[in-house]
Every structure is written in C-alpha cells, then in structure tokens.
Chains A and B, each alone.
Chain A
Amino acid sequence: MIEWFTFAQVGVAIIAGLLAIALGLGKRKPDDITLGATALVGVLLVIQLVVAIVSPAFGNSATGNLLEFYTYLVTAVLIPPFAIVWGLVDRTRWATVVLGVACLAVAVMVYRMYQIWFVQVA
C-alpha cells in the first residue's frame, strides 16, 4: 500500500460521493459526471488491489492482518460496478444518491484498509 496514493484515493472517493449526493438531491439523473466519478473510484480500487498484491515483494508489507485487509478490499472493489449498473438501470435522481452513498462507503473502507496496513491499533 502506498500512503500518498491511498490518501488521494480516499479524497477522490469523498469528493465523488458528496458531489453525487448533492446532484442527486438536486434532482439530477445519473449522468456522465456522476457515473464517471464512480467509475474513477472503481478504477482506483483495482489499482490499489494490484499495488497491494505487488508491494510486499518490494519490502512494503501490511502491519496488520492480511485476511482482514483483503476482505475489505475485495468487498470494496465490488461496490462501484454494482452502483454503476444501478445508475444505468434505475434512471431516477435517487440512483444518483446511490452512486454517492457507494463512493462514501468506499472512502470509509479504504481508510480502514489504510489503518490495517500501516497502523495497528488493536
């Protein structure tokens, strides 16, 4: 796990999430902006997955439990695609809110992954 990349990823997910919730409550249907932002969050997660698999080979290993880390990561990777499919099928403003909620959930999960990798609290 790369620290700056992880923080950038959390930042992107929070911005994408708040933007989509605001636009959704503003009665916007899912469009290129909100679907694109969610797709970006999803792509960053796939990159994070590759980084997590490769980095132990470069002496960058998790301080915490790897099984817990990957439970979060694999679950998180699944969320944006589901949200995007939802946004394409359900053409209402609430689907835009759904995209936002999904992005915020990813932000929380990536932060938890950061804690497991770098800081062992318990």
Chain B
Amino acid sequence: MTTTPSTRSTGFGRVLIVVYGLLALAATGRSFYQIASEYDAAPFAYTLSALAAVVYIVATIALVKKGDVWYRVAWFTIGFELLGVLVIGTLSIFDPELFTSKTVWSFYGRGYAFVPLVLPIVGMVWLYLRRPRA
C-alpha cells in the first residue's frame, strides 16, 4: 500500500502516461519526417501534424505533473485532441482533397489503430476519476 495521496500519475495512470508518451513520440517522428522531406507537398497537413505532436507532448507532461494548474492543462490538451481527431477525422472523409497526406488524426486516427480516438476518452475518464478533491 502506498501512503501518498492518489494523483494522476499512480496506478493505471502510469500506463496512460506511457501511451501518451509513445503517441507524442510517434507524432513527433512523423511530423519531423514530413516537414524535413516534403513540406511543400501539403503544408497544412504537415503543420497540423506538428501541432498535434506538440499537444501530445504537453498532455504527457500535464499528466505527470501535480497541481490544479496542470490538471486544467491536462483537460485542455486532452479536450483539444478529442476535438482534433473528431474535426480532422470528419473533414478527411468529406474533403479528402484537403488531406492528401496523412496526419495522426486523419480518418479518426486509423493509421494509428484508432488510438488517437480512444485515448482522449480514456484520458478524460481518468482525469474525472482522479479529480482534485475540493
């Protein structure tokens, strides 16, 4: 048994943090490659990839850090991800022209086994369960 008060970074939260970290790594790797090799081909999609990568990195840090401010940052970034995957996922289906190249969020994250779609929901449930006591 642990005597420290429960935070976002204990128990199952640790697995969540690692999955977020891996997704951050995957998004960063992809956007590095896209921007380094063929930025001109699809500037919008690639800028979006880079933005997604940054948001995943911030979300990972916010899950690790303690305190109310980071708790809000975690909600904001995870909410942004859910919004991103829903908006970009829908746009990529109805207007494929806009997304000739892939982003993590295209087609609801199909290229990443739908992890980008499921993860924010799991993250929000986790944040709710581990909300700071008033």
How far, in angstroms, from A68 to B19 measured CA to CA in the complex? Answer: 22
Q: Which residues from B are CB-within-8-Å of A86?
A: 18
Indicate if B29 sits at the interface (CB-CB under 8 A).
Answer: yes
Q: A75-B29, A101-B18, A108-B113 are in contact. Are A94 and B37 (CB under 8 A)?
A: no
Interface residue total, chain B, C-beta cutoff 8 A:
16
Q: Which residues from B are CB-within-8-Å of A97?
A: 15
Indicate if B32 sits at the interface (CB-CB under 8 A).
Answer: yes
A101 and B14 contact, CB distance less than 8 A: no
Interface residue total, chain A, C-beta cutoff 8 A:
19
Q: Which residues from B are CB-within-8-Å of A65?
A: 33, 37
Give residues in B with beta carbon < 8 Å to A: 11-12, 14-15, 18-19, 22, 25-26, 29-30, 32-33, 36-37, 113
New contact pairs (7) apart from A67-B37, A71-B30, A86-B18, CB-CB < 8 Å: A67-B36, A68-B37, A71-B33, A79-B22, A101-B15, A101-B18, A105-B22
